[in-house]
Structure 1
């Protein structure tokens, strides 16, 4: 997120708080009660945003994590495309050999 975006969001929240305050005064609350309730609305919004942020951070569904995952996949794809057919066949043979040895090891542990 760019700095200008952060400033815009901050200004929007500030203006929204003022509008909620004015709306509550228009409804009939005095200035103290309207101030308290407008602050309660803003705090509830902040807590709600914080909970969504924490859930995205804990489940690794944030933009940065997705970018890192996409980058790693692109690097692996590029390396795969750069392999010669001989190197690719050698790697496939090694993978098959490892799979067979792990299958034999798991079969022996079950006995």
Structure 2
């Protein structure tokens, strides 16, 4: 996310709070109650966003983690494409040998 995006989101949340305050006043609440309810909704929204952020961070579904995973997969794919048929056969034999040794260890 770029800095201008973060500034725009912050301004949008600030504006939404002000609009909500005005709408609550127009709905008949006095200024104190309208302020309390608009703050309560904004804090509730912030808390909800925080919970989703913590969930994404805990399950490693963040953008950075996905980019690292995609990069590692691309590097491995490029290395496989550059291997000769003999090297591929040798790698396949090593993988099969490891799988057999793991099966006998169980």
Q: Aligning the two structures, in what range does the TM-score lie when normalised by the shorter sequence?
A: over 0.9
Q: 1:101: how far off?
A: 2.4
Aligned length: 106
Match in the other structure for 1:90: 90
1:50 matched to 2:55? The reply is no
Match in the other structure for 1:2: 2
CA root-mean-square deviation: 1.0
- Taking structure 2 as the reference length, the TM-score comes to 0.95
Q: Which runs of 4+ in 1 moved over 6 A?
A: none
5+ residue gaps, structure 2: none
5+ residue gaps, structure 1: 107-111
- Taking structure 1 as the reference length, the TM-score comes to 0.91
CA distance in 2 between partners of 1:30 and 1:68 (Å)? 52
Q: 1:78: how far off?
A: 0.4
